[in-house]
Chains A and B, each alone.
Chain A
Amino acid sequence: MSEFKSGSNLEKVLRAGHFAFTGECGPPTGANVEALKKKAAYLKGMVDAVNITDNQTAVVRMPSWAASLIVMQEGVEPNFQMVCRDRNRLAAQSDVLGIYAHGIRNMLCLSGDHQKFGNHPDAKNVYDIDSMQLIHTVKTMRDEGKFLNGQDIDVPPKIFIGAASNPFAEPFEYRVHRLAKKIAAGADFVQTQCIYNMDRFREFMKQAVDMGLHEKCYILPGVTPMKSVGMALYMSRSVPGMDVPEDLIKRLRGAGKGKVAEEGIRFALEQIEEFKEMEGVAGVHLMAIEWEHRVPEIAERAGMLPRPSV
């Protein structure tokens, strides 16, 4: 691998062997550019790239591409997310060209939360292609310079292709195989669902390493600090595919009034320390949801600063 696939900062950081650190930012539910810029300012210099979510939880927001352009102007490298829920293969390929034309180099391919969860549950969904097929589509566009129909692309988009993985969703035995399938389809890097059950994640990573997946793809486990006991309970009970061990909930409860958030951050920091040493882990994806202002502190305490310039 001499040439970069996309030349994005994230790709360069990973290729140089640095322990990568990515963040996340949800676009506003409106055209509030200032709010978005404020979030971007907290993240600037703290992470290597920031995931810009795409109508996450099926709630209408400023589009991922538009918010990506704004954070880019603010000096933050975006990781543009795209879900298959809202676009067919025409729109998906067209958007890939569009974001590339504007200088976006990272993209995360997702199936997307079902619209039933969101604020427009009456909508019709698309799901023309699934996330696996989207990964493969972007790879074909990049490496073969062809659209899905086989036609040549006039200047192919050079995108660093990301995929998501949930190590905990059932059936557990199949999860690592599905990751392997995504890598074979073209994923260059993988960001996982928030990890809380470290035992299970260790087992998952061991399987991934045994299969050599870490040599074909950069794996970044997801970390979301718990802000409160309520959040932990909500995650455990109401977020499908989320595994929050009872021990962690107990630990947060035991922290006492006013100290739960700090305990949540401590747990996240311990996780990051362990990930740094864990075989096959290439970095961490920090999803501090609506907690962007705490990212500088977390980055600092996790020993992630300064971020490498490559």
Chain B
Amino acid sequence: MIIAEAKPNSELLEMVSDCSKVLVVGCKGCVTVCNVGGAKEVGVLAATLKIARRRQGRTIAVDEVTLERQCDPEYVDEIKDRIGDYDAVISIACGVGPQFLSERYPSARVFPGVNTKFMGGAVAHGVWEERCAGCGQCVIHNFGGICPIARCSKSLQNGPCGGSDHGKCEISKDVDCIWDVIVRKMMSQGRLDELLKFRPPKSWTTSRDGGPRKMIREELRI
């Protein structure tokens, strides 16, 4: 799923400093699962904004709504009758949400309430890790089912580099060297030969380097 983290309250307050009526929009998708943009967090943010404003000696009206998904026009449509009532909208969905909102409602001022971080999952309660960089041409089967594009700091396809140190990446003792994991796994499976195969330069045309991406599946179009 997509992992996001809340923006600092101070940044959000600054964003809406000239607003007196705001709608906070949550999403029941990924951001609910990673505890940053679901109905609960919408409530917390609304309360926080009101309290902080009161401390500044001003008031702000904050309404709450949590959509099934913000990355789907069908659900974004659900707020069409009320969006005009607000000075601003804060979306606490991933980066897709506020953009779908501002595309659907061109006259609304839409602010992002979270920082969208990466595609990954929870490895423990409260700990999320990146797994995929969306390169558009998955090759993890060549690396023991582990992605060096997203998980090696240098996206090496013929790693590890000389900075790999006791299982840690050269960038930090808190970051695992994923090539260490790949090598150990492949060796334990007796697949050293595969690792010794030269991996030629990757085509990045399917990744962001090829320009903004779009996908069309004719059989699904109506």
Whether B165 lies near A240 (C-beta < 8 A) is yes
A127 contact set on B, CB distance < 8 A: 154-156
Whether A181 lies near B196 (C-beta < 8 A) is yes
CA distance A84 to B161 in the complex (A): 12
CA distance A166 to B198 in the complex (A): 19
B interface secondary structure, majority: loop
A8-16, A172-180, A267-275, A279-287: which lies at the interface: A172-180
Whether A131 lies near B196 (C-beta < 8 A) is no
Which has the most chain B C-beta neighbours within 10 Å: A128, A164, A166, A240?
A: A240
A136 contact set on B, CB distance < 8 A: 198, 200
Whether B171 lies near A116 (C-beta < 8 A) is yes
Whether A125 lies near B154 (C-beta < 8 A) is yes
Question: For the complex, is A215 an interface residue (Cβ under 8 Å from B)?
Answer: no
CA distance A185 to B158 in the complex (A): 11
A 75-114 to B, binary, CB cutoff 8 A, 1 in contact else 0: 0000000001100010000000000000000000001111
Whether B163 lies near A113 (C-beta < 8 A) is yes
B 150-176 to A, binary, CB cutoff 8 A, 1 in contact else 0: 000111111111111111101110000
CA distance A170 to B172 in the complex (A): 15
- Interface size grouping (class) on chain B: 20 to 34
Number of A-B contacts (CB under 8 A): 98
* B168 closest partner in A (C-beta): A240
CA distance A180 to B192 in the complex (A): 12
Question: For the complex, is A169 an interface residue (Cβ under 8 Å from B)?
Answer: yes
Whether A193 lies near B183 (C-beta < 8 A) is no
Whether B157 lies near A177 (C-beta < 8 A) is no
Question: For the complex, is B184 an interface residue (Cβ under 8 Å from A)?
Answer: yes
CA distance A131 to B187 in the complex (A): 22
CB distance from A96 to the nearest CB of B (A): 15
> Which listed residue (B158, B163, B171) contacts A130, Cβ 8 A?
B158
Within A105-139, the residues touching B (CB, 8 Å) are 111-114, 116-117, 125, 127-133, 136-137
> Which listed residue (B162, B171, B198, B201) contacts A184, Cβ 8 A?
B198
* A112 closest partner in B (C-beta): B154
Whether B198 lies near A170 (C-beta < 8 A) is no
CB distance from B155 to the nearest CB of A (A): 5
Whether B159 lies near A130 (C-beta < 8 A) is yes
Question: For the complex, is B204 an interface residue (Cβ under 8 Å from A)?
Answer: yes
Whether A113 lies near B170 (C-beta < 8 A) is yes
Whether A128 lies near B162 (C-beta < 8 A) is no
B 116-128 to A, binary, CB cutoff 8 A, 1 in contact else 0: 0000000000000
Question: For the complex, is A22 an interface residue (Cβ under 8 Å from B)?
Answer: no
CA distance A173 to B164 in the complex (A): 13
In the complex, the 5 A-B pairs of residues with the closest C-beta atoms, listed nearest first: A166-B162, A132-B158, A240-B170, A240-B165, A240-B163
Q: Interface of B with A (CB < 8 Å)?
A: 153-168, 170-172, 177, 180, 183-184, 187, 192, 195-196, 198-201, 204
Q: Interface of A with B (CB < 8 Å)?
A: 84-85, 89, 111-114, 116-117, 125, 127-133, 136-137, 148, 164-166, 169-171, 173-174, 177-178, 180-181, 184-185, 193, 240-241
The contact sample of 22 A-B pairs, CB cut-off 8 A, is A111-B156, A114-B171, A116-B153, A117-B170, A130-B154, A130-B155, A132-B198, A133-B199, A133-B201, A170-B177, A170-B180, A171-B184, A174-B195, A177-B195, A178-B160, A180-B196, A181-B158, A193-B162, A240-B164, A240-B168, A241-B163, A241-B164
